[in-house]
């Protein structure tokens, strides 16, 4: 024990001497993350004096460099390219290698690469009859690739087609296999589109990289459904419940054409529209005595012979796909009954047509509601629609027109304009039933033409192509035109107002001034009161053979008001009344309802002593200029001059 204690100082001294003569490093194994900046030194190298350190040939090429006595990375490390780097350090004294050191650098992986799908859009075809819970697309076909080897990818399926997520889902968050969750329906969902999202971390984790791809799934038709007779109603996606057919035929007659059935002709389609196989038809039962036949291609049902007696046929018709994979049946009920007495029926009680004046024989009468179409007179047999083709038409009461089938033609040249009526008789040649209707035909000077036809005809020969004859205005142009016309109308109204005021302004002011004066009961003349007892309207008596105009008996008038001291100039005096004052020969006047342009009313004077020189007296001076002239005068008095003055500003005519 004592010997070892004596040797320890010697060992430490030897080690110190050895360290001083060879190269050394603190660590020979290092770790760095990929993408590390190569500018930082990895470690320091101890090099004894007189020696030099270099990289040996077994070092990772181009990965390191020695700068001074420090080891550096020469490139940015990439885990995906190289996970382990090796540096061989050689210390030399002259040309002799004194020491060799190996330094290992492990590159750590970093999440620096996004995942990538090997496709952008991928299409898969899925049969319609695929069972639920079947994996329709495998995981290896859908998964994305990530160069970061330690990454775990998380997948999310997002629907693009609304409602598609109810049909498909992913098996798991880390397993992108596609699974069917619901039965497919080609009619409603022929194809569905999804977006597949891949993420290299969970959504709640650190920032991650993502990738997306588009998945399109097309549903392929499979022969699942039998033929469907139309019309039909859906009960579910596989079954369509169709209505049965029915019809009626007359006894004793063989109808030449296909039977008219309700709710429509016999017609079926492949229930799988994606396959759409042609349908073949046949009668499998109920066709007694082979009375009916059916077209294998169209399904039209026809009669092979007449039916002598009333009876009902229950025909079972089969519709089968051309590939014989599926079929279905329906029932057609045909009732044979007596057609005698079946009366046709017109859809209108009055038809209206139009034709141009001067039209020749054989001109087609046009429909007044749509002149581009010929007028059609049509009757139908409500009991036997198949007999509609047996209905004939004729005009019974007008030789200018005739029937050609359902069309109305002219039978003579039309030389007179006007409205003409014709009775049309429809007769069913099978049932002998008849019906009548009326046609109103307007013969006009110019034959109506459909909208735009006449304009086109007028412009066909124009050298400019007819553009001037078929001018159309836009809404903006019409609005501008309306604004200009409105402005012109406003200017015209302003000019008219100025002219009226210039020529009649003083009269309007005078009239307004008189209107402001107090008038009895709000009227401007007692002669126009509504009360007949107070109206000063005396009818003129009929002239006598002696041309005298006697006035009716009047009560004694009150004393007239004394004349004013001075008669205003320009006021004509009333004709002098008779000497007896109240005699029939006295001068009388009445007010008429005819207004003067300047205001007031015209008056008519009657009297025997009125001379020819006083036939017309015009009182032009307004009442306001005559002192007291419009303030006095008694009704029914003999002082007609006062009455004339009471009529403010009137024209007085004397006979």
Question: Are the C-beta atoms of residues 237 and 144 closer than 8 Å to each other?
Answer: no
Q: Pick the more confident residue, 405 or 629.
A: 405
Report whether pLDDT(485) > 70: yes
- Are the C-beta atoms of 199 and 153 separated by less than 8 Å? yes
How confident is residue 198, by pLDDT bands cut at 50, 70 and 90? very high
Q: Which of 152, 161, 269 is nearest to 217 (CA)?
A: 161
653 conformational bin, left if phi > 0, alpha if psi -120 to 50, beta if neither = beta
According to the per-residue pLDDT averaged within each range, which of 264-268, 466-470, 501-505, 578-582 is highest?
264-268
pLDDT value of residue 209: 85
d(CA 320, CA 513): 103
**Would you state the pLDDT for residue 121?**
94
CA distance 478 to 484: 10
- Average pLDDT in the 480-485 region? 88
Positive or negative CA dihedral for 79, 81, 84, 85?
negative
The 10s digit of each residue's pLDDT in 590-634 is: 656 566 666 666 665 555 554 444 444 444 444 434 344 334 333
Q: What confidence category does residue 429 fall into, taking pLDDT thresholds of 50, 70 and 90?
A: confident
Q: What are phi and psi of 366, to 5 degrees?
A: -90, 155
Cα-to-chain-centroid distance, residue 68: 84
User: What are the phi and psi torsion angles at 370 (to 5°)?
Assistant: -145, 90
Q: Which residue has the higher pLDDT, 31 or 524?
A: 31
The pLDDT value given to residue 253: 87
What pLDDT shows up at residue 574? 43
More confident residue, 478 or 180: 180
pLDDT, residue 142, reads 92
Per DSSP, what are the bridge partners of residue 601? 595
Indicate whether 366 pLDDT > 90.
yes
| Angle made by CA atoms 530, 536, 539, in degrees to the nearest 5 | 105
Please state the rounded mean pLDDT for residues 451-458: 41
Confidence of residue 506 (pLDDT cuts 50, 70, 90): low
pLDDT value at position 203?
66
For residue 433, pLDDT beyond 70: yes
pLDDT of residue 603: 61
**Residue 492, pLDDT score:** 93
Asked which of 113-117, 197-201, 360-364, 524-528 is least confident by mean pLDDT, the reply is: 524-528
Question: What kind and span of H or E run contains 453?
Answer: helix 453-459
* Model confidence pLDDT, tens digit, residues 237-292: 678 888 789 999 999 889 888 999 999 999 999 988 888 999 999 999 999 999 99
Confidence of residue 386 (pLDDT cuts 50, 70, 90): confident
Mean pLDDT score across all residues of the chain: 76
Higher pLDDT, 284 or 5: 284
Distance separating alpha carbons of residues 99 and 117, to the nearest angstrom: 51
């Amino acid at each position: 024990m004592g010997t070892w204690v004596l040797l320890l100082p010697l060992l430490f001294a030897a080690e110190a001497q050895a360290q001083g003569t060879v190269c050394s490093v603190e660590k020979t194994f290092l770790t760095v993350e990929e993408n590390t900046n190569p500018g930082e030194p990895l470690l320091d190298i101890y090099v004894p004096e007189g020696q030099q350190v270099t990289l040996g040939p077994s070092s990772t090429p181009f990965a390191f460099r020695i700068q001074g006595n420090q080891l550096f990375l020469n490139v940015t490390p990439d885990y995906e390219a190289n996970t382990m780097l090796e540096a061989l350090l050689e210390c030399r004294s002259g040309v002799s290698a004194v020491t060799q050191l190996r330094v290992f650098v492990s590159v750590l992986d970093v999440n620096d690469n996004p995942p990538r799908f090997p496709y952008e859009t991928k299409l898969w075809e899925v049969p319609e009859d695929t069972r639920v819970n079947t994996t329709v697309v495998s995981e290896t076909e859908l998964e994305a690739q990530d160069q970061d080897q330690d990454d775990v990818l998380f997948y999310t399926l997002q629907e693009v087609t609304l409602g598609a997520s109810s049909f498909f889902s992913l098996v798991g968050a880390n397993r992108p296999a596609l699974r069917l969750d619901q039965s497919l329906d080609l009619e409603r969902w022929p194809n569905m589109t999804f977006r597949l999202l891949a993420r290299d971390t969970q959504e709640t984790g650190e920032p991650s990289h993502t990738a997306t791809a588009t998945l399109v799934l097309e549903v392929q038709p499979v022969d699942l459904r039998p033929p469907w007779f139309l019309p039909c109603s859906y009960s579910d996606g596989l079954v369509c419940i169709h209505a049965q057919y029915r019809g009626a035929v007359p006894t004793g007659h063989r109808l030449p054409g296909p039977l008219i059935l309700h709710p429509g002709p016999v017609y079926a389609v492949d229930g799988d529209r994606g396959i759409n196989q042609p349908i073949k038809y046949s009668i499998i039962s109920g066709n007694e005595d082979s009375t009916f036949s059916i077209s294998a291609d169209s399904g039209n049902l026809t009669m092979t012979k007449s039916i002598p007696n009333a009876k009902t046929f229950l025909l079972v018709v089969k519709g089968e796909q051309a590939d014989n994979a599926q079929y279905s049946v329906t029932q057609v009920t045909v009732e044979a009954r007596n057609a005698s007495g079946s009366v046709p029926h017109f859809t209108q009680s009055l038809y209206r047509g139009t034709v141009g004046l001067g039209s020749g024989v054989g001109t087609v009468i046009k429909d007044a509601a749509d002149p581009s179409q010929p007028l059609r007179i049509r009757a139908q047999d409500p009991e036997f629609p198949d007999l509609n083709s047996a209905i004939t038409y004729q005009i019974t009461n007008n030789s200018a027109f005739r029937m050609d089938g359902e069309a109305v033609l002219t039978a003579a040249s039309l030389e007179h304009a006007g409205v003409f009526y014709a009775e049309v008789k429809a007769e069913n040649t099978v049932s002998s039933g008849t019906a009548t209707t009326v046609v109103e035909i307007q013969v006009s000077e110019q034959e109506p033409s459909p909208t735009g036809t006449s304009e086109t005809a007028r412009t066909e020969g124009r050298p400019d192509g007819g553009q001037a004859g078929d001018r159309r205005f836009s809404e903006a142009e019409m609005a501008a035109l309306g604004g200009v016309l409105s402005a012109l109308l406003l200017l015209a109204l302003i000019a008219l107002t100025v002219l009226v005021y210039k020529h009649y302004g003083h009269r309007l002011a005078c009239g307004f001034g008189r209107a402001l004066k107090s008038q009895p009961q709000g009227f401007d003349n007692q002669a126009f009161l509504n009360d007949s007892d107070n109206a000063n309207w005396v009818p003129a008596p009929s002239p006598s053979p002696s041309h005298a105009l006697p006035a009716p008996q009047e009560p004694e008038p009150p004393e007239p008001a004394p004349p004013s001291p001075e008669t205003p100039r320009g006021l004509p005096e009333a004709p002098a009344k008779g000497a007896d004052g109240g005699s029939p020969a006295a001068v009388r006047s009445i007010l008429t309802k005819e207004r003067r342009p300047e205001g007031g009313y015209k008056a008519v004077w009657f009297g025997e002593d009125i001379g020819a020189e006083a036939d017309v007296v015009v009182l032009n001076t307004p009442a306001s200029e005559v002192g007291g002239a419009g303030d006095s005068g008694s009704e029914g008095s003999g002082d007609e001059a006062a009455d004339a003055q009471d009529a403010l500003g009137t024209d007085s005519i004397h006979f």
